[in-house]
Amino acid sequence: MTTVVVPLDGSVFAERAIRPACSIAARVEHARVLLVSCAPDDGDAAPHQLDDRASLYRDVVDIETRIVDASGAAEVLLAIAAAEPDGILCMSTRGKGGIRAAVLGSVSTKVVCRSTQPLVLVGPGCRTTLLPAERGRLLVCSDGSALSDSIIPTVARWCDRLRLQPWLTEVVGPDENVEPSGEPPRNREVEAASERLDVLATRLHAPNSPARTRVLHGGPGRTIPWFAERLPAALIALATHGRSGLTRIAMGSVATEVVRHAPCPVLITRPTDGQE
């Protein structure tokens, strides 16, 4: 059974991850959502608040609640997600100070840096939720490196299980190479990126939902969210560096900007040993 784990700390901001988590679970067979309260003990308030939030979605998805000791919350969350092959952590992040300013503070930092399971981050710019029967699109971000492309197997599984069409993108800058006089201008970066994306698209081949590609121009941190909104994308996918989580991403500090400005949730994965 797939379990989408949502860490909560009693704040309204943390609860913003509940709806995206439920929308993911609603599209996956035999899936459930687990709301985990990591808030300091406040008597009977936490159980009632959790049950109240869960009751809003019980007609849509199988949803359960659990309260854990805040002092060991990171370990518990990681253990819950790792207990199942398809465990997923879905959590809210403020984004103001990058990934490190996640709503659960140090707990979130530990979870992000140590998680071996897919992680879905819901940034402050997230405004969209994937509907159960929607023909959604998953925007995959590559920078041409093996690290960034290590997310492709995960994307293939998610597209299949969530019934999403993959879109692959790479952001390039202007080509400063000067063409000989009389020849049409060429952007060699665009051509190279297009070729790379075409190769990746063959790895995501699905007869009923073929992968599409698009080379973009501009600053990746803002251009990717801009394109995601216009696509529109139900999910953005990025691969992170395995040694220290989101603090060192293949696309550098760009990923923190993507999460901060993305109009939809962002799927994060880390490469397994030997893929870095």
Q: Do residues 142 and 47 both lie within one domain?
A: no
Distance between CA 215 and CA 193 in Å, rounded?
Answer: 7
Range scoring the smallest mean pLDDT among 50-64, 81-95, 174-188: 174-188
Q: Do residues 102 and 161 both lie within one domain?
A: no
Cα 225 to chain centroid, rounded: 12
State the average pLDDT over residues 5-13: 87
State the average pLDDT over residues 16-43: 87
H or E element in which residue 137 lies: strand 137-142
Q: Do residues 117 and 34 both lie within one domain?
A: yes
Q: Do residues 12 and 63 both lie within one domain?
A: yes
More confident residue, 97 or 45: 45
Q: Do residues 262 and 155 both lie within one domain?
A: yes
Q: Do residues 255 and 182 both lie within one domain?
A: yes
Q: Do residues 186 and 254 both lie within one domain?
A: yes
Banded pLDDT at 129 (limits 50, 70, 90): confident
Q: Do residues 150 and 104 both lie within one domain?
A: no
The answer to whether residue 96 scores a pLDDT higher than 80 is no
The answer to whether residue 242 scores a pLDDT higher than 70 is no
Distance between CA 215 and CA 194 in Å, rounded?
Answer: 7
The answer to whether residue 249 scores a pLDDT higher than 50 is no
The answer to whether residue 64 scores a pLDDT higher than 70 is yes
Q: Do residues 151 and 246 both lie within one domain?
A: yes
Number of domains in the chain: 2
CATH code for the domain in which residue 37 is found: 3.40.50.620
Q: Do residues 11 and 66 both lie within one domain?
A: yes
Number of other residues whose CB lies within 10 A of the CB of residue 83: 11
As a whole-number percent, the residues of the chain with pLDDT over 90 amount to 39
